[in-house]
A = this chain, B = another copy of it.
């Protein structure tokens, strides 16, 4: 199963994947598209990814969490157009006890944010757009372009979804 998907995320399916009779605790996380960012009203947004590397990093992160907490971990990240309230990332981590389940779940979301090459373009209610840059004051890139940007040239397979 790929970690990236354009389909709506289904936490129940991830929970079912990690549930087992020996695992008494399941911690989950959903990251949901908010309607505001930096005081501005967000209408929708689009996640794009460097897909081959994003898949590899997700696989590494899940393997690290499994090994460190003897947990079973399921992870999905959505790409493409998302609406307010849609889940962008879903994680389920099951372990014999809840300490390990919470720790594994928290590790996965932190590492996804830190390491997985995914980018987010916000479309604001006023019609402008901008790339989200969590490292910048205010949260947008210096390279933010407040207009509709042309699509990348067709045939460039490495361009993200």
- Taking Cβ atoms with an 8 Å cutoff, the residues of A that contact B are 11-12, 15, 19-36, 84-85, 94, 96, 98, 101-102, 105-106, 109
- Pairwise interchain contact B21-A34, C-beta atoms closer than 8 A: yes
A104 CB → nearest B CB, Å: 12
Contact B25 A84 (CB under 8 A): no
Task: Contact check, A32 vs B27: say whether CB atoms are below 8 A apart.
Answer: no
Whether A26 contacts B24 by the Cβ 8 Å rule is no
Q: Quick one: which of B12, B21, B35, B84 contacts A35, CB cutoff 8 A? A: B21
28 A-B pairs (CB sep. < 8 Å): A11-B28, A12-B12, A19-B32, A20-B85, A21-B84, A21-B85, A22-B34, A22-B35, A22-B36, A23-B32, A24-B31, A24-B32, A24-B33, A25-B31, A26-B28, A26-B29, A26-B30, A26-B32, A27-B27, A27-B28, A27-B29, A28-B28, A29-B102, A31-B98, A32-B94, A98-B109, A102-B102, A102-B106
